[in-house]
């Protein structure tokens, strides 16, 4: 099968941060056969392969990408009912928030807390996308992938994906060979709302519907996050740090109001946005080109004509300031592409 391969494509036009250089080669694939053809072309030309979905959680270098960028535009949805669960198989190119809306509309519990997160379905297992007490790892049954080394399709189970906090097999060296083609989510028939987070706890007098929770999440996120369709942003730029209980106790001596949330491995997750705002006073601060968002300091925004280097330098300054004030090492949630 032949496929259209374009040269020297600006990647700034394909990312929500609106920065980045050109791709040496660029191919948009719309089905599994086109994906096979694109990978085969890259192999023949000895080009590295970079996969791009909605471009919402990446920072492309100003130098661009010297290999082949494959944008996954494969779409398709399939619903299946079993005795215990509703299964949704969504192709990687589907807009993630669209399927969240669809599940809420038909009254299926599970994805509503993840409303209004930009990006495509294919990114959700890679990043283990999560918000307001829900991670997609809790809902993913399996992931269909294309192995660029063996050039074969296969299914990976939830366990195969090695999910962690904003982490997965697909971010590890041994997982880089896989391209996500579709994701199967399983929603338990006896599920209900997840309202553990403070922002949601006091919003409902009675048990809400999935659509009501979705509406509440959209309202909350709209106050904290810019509209990615209008403002250059990658959403939350950094991961919330997870620290030892002993380290958290020491920090409480200096910052007694510092929130902390116990994790399953007896550590404490600390909201970095609180530190950036309350400790460092960085909410809404920055330069003419790049800064933190006025509604949530965890979000970096391209204020206009910023380069990848501008954003990297600003992010590195934030990392250094957090380290100096708290001794906490901060990691990027955004993935660098170069």
For residue 38, which of 151, 144, 127 has the smallest C-alpha distance? 151
What are the structural domain ranges in the chain? Answer: 6-72, 77-220, 226-337
The CATH classification of domain 226-337, taken from the options 3.40.50.1110, 3.30.1360.30, 3.20.20.60, 3.90.78.10? 3.90.78.10
pTM, entire model: 0.93
Cα–Cα distance, 224 to 176 (Å, whole number):
32
Three-state SS letters, 120-171: ECCHHHHHCCEECCEEHHHCEEEEEEEECCCCEEEEEECHHHCCECCECHHH
Whether the per-residue pLDDT at 247 is higher than 80: the answer is yes
pLDDT interval class at 184 (50, 70, 90): very high
Buried b (16+ CB within 10 A) or exposed e, 272-310: bbbbbbbbbebbeebeebbbbbebbbbbbbbeeebbbeb
Residue 70: Cβ within 10 Å count:
26
Quickly name the fold that domain 77-220 has.
Answer: 3.30.465
Architecture label for domain 6-72: 2-Layer Sandwich (3.30)
- Go through the chain and tell me how many residues it has: 338
The distance of Cα 203 from the centroid of its chain, to the nearest Å, equals: 26
| SS3 state of residue 25 | strand
pLDDT digits (tens, 9 = 90+) for 188-239: 999 999 998 888 888 998 899 999 999 999 999 999 999 888 899 999 999 9
Residue 155: Cβ within 10 Å count:
13
* Phi then psi dihedrals of residue 204, to 5 deg: -130, 130
Question: Residue written as tokens 């200096």?
Answer: 254
User: For residue 1, what pLDDT is reported?
Assistant: 67
Three-state SS letters, 79-94: EEECCCEEEEEEECCC
The DSSP output letter for 264 is: T
What average pLDDT is seen over the chain? Answer: 96
Whether the per-residue pLDDT at 176 is higher than 70: the answer is yes
Q: Is 236 a catalytic residue?
A: yes
Q: Is 166 a catalytic residue?
A: yes
pLDDT digits (tens, 9 = 90+) for 127-158: 999 999 999 999 999 999 999 999 999 999 99
Catalytic residue among 166, 168, 214, 221: 166
Distances 64 to 42, 78, 126, 162, 294 between C-alpha atoms, Å: 17, 36, 22, 30, 29
pLDDT digits (tens, 9 = 90+) for 295-318: 999 999 999 899 999 999 999 999
Query: Kind of pairing, strands 49-52 and 65-72?
Result: parallel
Whether the per-residue pLDDT at 182 is higher than 90: the answer is yes
Task: Report helix angle 210-224 to 96-105, nearest 10.
Answer: 140
Whether 92 and 120 have beta carbons less than 8 Å apart is answered as yes
The distance of Cα 79 from the centroid of its chain, to the nearest Å, equals: 24
Give me Rg for the CA atoms of the chain: 20
């Amino acid at each position: 099968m032949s496929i259209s391969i374009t040269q020297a494509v600006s990647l700034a036009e394909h990312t929500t941060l609106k920065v980045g250089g050109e791709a040496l080669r660029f191919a948009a694939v719309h089905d599994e056969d086109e994906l096979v053809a694109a990978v085969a072309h890259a192999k023949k030309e000895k080009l590295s392969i970079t996969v791009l979905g909605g471009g919402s959680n990446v920072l492309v270098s100003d130098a661009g990408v010297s290999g082949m960028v494959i944008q996954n535009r494969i779409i398709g949805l399939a619903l299946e009912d079993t005795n215990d669960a509703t299964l949704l198989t969504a192709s990687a190119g589907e807009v993630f928030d669209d399927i969240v809306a669809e599940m809420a509309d038909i009254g299926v519990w599970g994805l509503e807390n993840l409303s209004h997160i930009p990006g495509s379905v294919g990114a959700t297992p890679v990043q283990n996308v999560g918000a307001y007490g829900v991670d997609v790892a809790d809902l993913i049954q399996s992931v269909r992938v294309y192995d660029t080394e063996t050039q074969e399709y296969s299914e990976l189970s939830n366990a195969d994906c090695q999910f962690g906090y904003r982490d997965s097999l697909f971010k590890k060296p041994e997982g880089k060979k896989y391209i996500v083609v579709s994701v199967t989510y399983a929603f338990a028939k006896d599920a209900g709302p997840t309202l553990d987070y403070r922002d949601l706890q006091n919003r409902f007098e009675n048990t809400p519907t999935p659509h009501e929770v979705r509406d509440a999440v959209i309202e909350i996120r709209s106050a904290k996050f810019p509209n990615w369709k209008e403002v250059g942003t990658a959403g939350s730029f950094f991961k919330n740090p997870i620290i030892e209980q002993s380290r958290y106790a020491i920090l409480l001596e200096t910052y007694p109001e510092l929130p902390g949330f116990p994790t399953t491995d007896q550590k404490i997750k600390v909201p970095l946005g609180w530190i950036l705002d309350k400790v460092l006073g960085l909410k809404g601060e920055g330069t003419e080109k790049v800064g933190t968002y006025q509604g949530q300091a965890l979000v970096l925004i391209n204020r206009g004509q910023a380069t990848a280097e501008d954003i990297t330098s600003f992010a590195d300054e934030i990392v250094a300031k957090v380290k100096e004030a708290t001794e906490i090492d901060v990691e990027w949630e955004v993935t660098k592409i170069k």
